[in-house]
Amino acid sequence: MPTEEQLAWDARVRQTAFDWLNQMTGGQQTTITWQDILKFKEMNPWGVVLANRQRGIFKPKEMVGALSLKSSPPRNRNDRPFVYNDDYSEEGYLRYSEQASQDEDNANVRRAYEHRLPMVYLKGIAEGIYRATFPIYVIGYDSKQRQYLIDVSGANPDTGRVDFQFAAKSEVGKSYVSRTVEVREHQRDFRALVMTAYRTTCAVCALKHGELLDAAHVIGDREAGGIAAVKNGLALCKIHHSAFDSHVLGVDPDYTVHIREDILHEIDGPMLKYGLQSHHGQRLRVVPEKTPERPQRELLAHRFEQFKAAV
């Protein structure tokens, strides 16, 4: 059993890691590179490492339980219409597979469960790029699927938690909670992927402030074809996102920006002139380097029809 002192120190290290990650990711708004994750070692007085390249489950040896869980980016990402490689339980918990025959890792996760230690989840978005979620808590173990159940909601686990070891319930009919968590997590993944592909830059005006940027859907996610893949996305600043959504601004299949006719001829202040009218006829300033990640022409064509129809 760890002493009170060990637990107190362990808690301090975790808080330091969360504070640092908060700063690095703008409050979990942006992704973090593997190079940056390595810098944590120099940024804390104890020289504690945050994660290990080879291992999914990581516990610094001085600590009481696991500190981080890591997942690899999906392979052949460009071939897939959907980008998600996570699985959620019907209660809305992330399922994280046990590491095959790594007894030590598993003991470390179990200790994190027993002492309710908050951890970090580093989800692989692309090669060397992660989305950090924290604090997360282990809430149980599904011995049938050999998966840990992880609460990623950020809430402190309540005291009446289920027993660590329990069998999977049937997956028939996912609950509302589960879908809410899944949808939110997938929206965050979509944003992370789009921001990575566009190097956190508005495609229309090249603004580079992450906190002022959104990951817009070309075809809305409630519409048919509104897939959550980067090729159905655009990084847009708040103004251009709103303009795109209200059909004030359109993008044709050749990546040329159009401003709605009546607005083009309106006379008003500098916001209208520079913020909107001046972009008419220009090409998108930024598109992803990788061709399969660029906005798909068929999707843009469909959306552009809606723009032309809206006057």
Q: Which residues bind Zn ion (CB under 5 A)?
A: 202, 204-205, 207, 237, 240
Q: Which of 185, 198, 179, 172 is nearest to 83 (CA)?
A: 185
Which residue, 136 or 202, is less far from Zn ion as judged by CB?
202
Shortest Å, Cβ 211 to Zn ion: 13
How do beta strands 32-33 and 94-97 pair?
A: unpaired
The CA distance from 234 to 286, in Å, is 9
Which residue, 21 or 204, is less far from Zn ion as judged by CB?
204
Which residue, 136 or 286, is less far from Zn ion as judged by CB?
286
Which residue, 178 or 256, is less far from Zn ion as judged by CB?
256
The CA distance from 100 to 97, in Å, is 9
Which residue, 59 or 258, is less far from Zn ion as judged by CB?
258
Which residue, 57 or 213, is less far from Zn ion as judged by CB?
213
Which residue, 202 or 215, is less far from Zn ion as judged by CB?
202
Shortest Å, Cβ 274 to Zn ion: 11
Shortest Å, Cβ 223 to Zn ion: 23
SS (H, E, C) the chain: CCCHHHHHHHHHHHHHHHHHHHHHCCCCCCCEEHHHHHHHHHHCCCCCCCCCCCCCEECCCCCCCCCEEEECCCCCHHHCCCCCCCCECCCCCEEEECCCCCHHHHHHHHHHHHCCCCEEEEEEEECCEEEEEEEEEEEEEECCCCEEEEECCCCCCCCCCCCCEECCCCCCCCCHHHHHHHHHHHHHHHHHHHHHHCCCCCCCCCCCCHHHEEEEECCCCCCCCCCCCHHHEEEEEHHHHHHHHCCCEEECCCCEEEECHHHHCCCCCHHHHHHHHHHCCCECCCCCCCHHHCCCHHHHHHHHHHHHHCC
Shortest Å, Cβ 238 to Zn ion: 8
Shortest Å, Cβ 170 to Zn ion: 47
Shortest Å, Cβ 190 to Zn ion: 19
Shortest Å, Cβ 186 to Zn ion: 24
Q: Which of 283, 281, 277 is nearest to 262 (CA)?
A: 277
Shortest Å, Cβ 253 to Zn ion: 20
Which residue, 191 or 240, is less far from Zn ion as judged by CB?
240
